[in-house]
Structures are given as structure tokens and as C-alpha cells.
Amino acid sequence: EAGVTQFPSHSVIEKGQTVTLRCDPISGHDNLYWYRRVMGKEIKFLLHFVKESKQDESGMPNNRFLAERTGGTYSTLKVQPAELEDSGVYFCASSQEIGGLGVNTEAFFGQGTRLTVV
Amino acid sequence: GNSVTQMEGPVTLSEEAFLTINCTYTATGYPSLFWYVQYPGEGLQLLLKATKADDKGSNKGFEATYRKETTSFHLEKGSVQVSDSAVYFCALSDRTQGGYSTLTFGKGTMLLVSP
């Protein structure tokens, strides 16, 4: 079974440009999460989809970040325009929970996309 | 809010040495606790977890016990191998308003094991 896959694995862009990151969750997982790790700091929660709906986007840093999950399958995270402080590793994770009872459900992570803004 | 504090790295050990990576947490309610590991070039993998006080999670020779009285979840291994070299993240999971769980991570601790 395929795991969570993320594209690209690494992206280098100039300040002011636009970048779109993609995440394909494990098939059948309703929950999809985006996290970000800035160099030397914690992995921070960005947002959470349940199917195609945004359940929680409290971690999104500002309106330059736009996440979508069309049809409840793959998700994209667009940064426009990118700033230097957006550099970091962006992780996607998916999980399968039933009825909101799943605090113990394992989240499966992708390899991450390393974004470098120069 | 929730937070996780883990020891700064890198931790450098010789093969077969004993490993401890400290982790303490602050949370409202009763979170589940996790250790994730990221091997070079790979994604985050769940190493072990514990869902209630005094539970011990274990996997691949690693252990951690959920200590509510000290709000800790220290990772230990009796004899490390070179292949254990990786970054280790302590994390907790608590419910959000919608009843689903998200993860709060520590900064990560790099472990380097030499032969």
C-alpha cells in the first residue's frame, strides 16, 4: 500500500515567487494535516482537512498561504508570494479516524517538501 | 496551550551505549504521547506511543513511560546501534474543538551513533 507522498521533495524559489506543494494521502484517509518545521524549531501544525472541508486552519501563518483539498483526495498548499521566513520543511500527514473518537489513531507522514526561499 | 520540551541535541554516543532523551510536556486534559523518528532522507515515522498515565510504549528496543506526576515521557534504549542515528521528536495529541486530534511537537533531538 502506498504511503503519504509529497511533491516536490525540494524546491528553491526566489522571494516573491509562487510555489505549490502537493500531498497525496493514503487512500481512504479522511483526515489530512499540514505541518511545517522551520530550521531548528518545532514542527508546527498548519491546518487540518476532514475530507474536502477545512476542520481547523488556526496554524496558517498568514493569508499568503492557501490550502485546498479538491474532492477530498489530494491537497495542495500554495505560498504566494513567498518570503524568506517561509523556508522550512513542509510535512503532510493523513489518518483514519471514526466519529471523532480517534485521539489514539496513528498519523502517517510523508517525506516532506524542503522549501528554500532565496 | 499545549507544549512539548525535549533536550537539545545533538546527542553523540558510541554503539551499545545507553540512551535517554528527555521529554516533558504541558497540556490541558489528558493527552496521548508519542515519539516519532526521522531517519536521514525519510519522513516521520511513529516509533512508539502511550495513551494514559503509567502506560509504557515500546518498539525496536526503545521504551518510554507516560508519567503524569512529572509530565514526562522520556525515551530510553539500553544499547544503541549505528542504525538508530536519526532525529527523534516527542509529541502529544489532544482533541481540537471539532473532536479531532492534532499533534504538538518538540524541537527534535538529533542522535548520532558511532561504531
Task: Write out pLDDT tens, residues B22-69.
Answer: 999 999 878 889 999 999 888 899 999 998 899 999 999 999 999 999
User: Which of B42, B101, B105 lies at the smallest CB-CB distance from A102?
Assistant: B101
Burial class of B70 by CB neighbour count within 10 A (0 to 12, 13 to 18, 19+):
exposed
pLDDT beneath 50, residues of chain A: 102-104
Partners of residue A108 in chain B, C-beta under 8 Å: 46
In degrees and rounded to multiples of 5, residue A106 shows phi and psi of -70, 135
Query: What ranges make up the beta strands (E) of chain A?
Result: 5-7, 10-13, 19-24, 31-37, 43-50, 53-56, 65-68, 75-79, 88-95, 108-109, 113-117
pLDDT of residue A10: 96
Three-state secondary-structure class, residue B22: coil
pLDDT of residue B102: 84
Using a CB–CB cutoff of 8 Å, tell me whether A113 touches chain B. no
pLDDT of residue A15: 97
pLDDT of residue A103: 47
Candidate from B29-33, B86-90, B108-112 with smallest mean pLDDT? B29-33
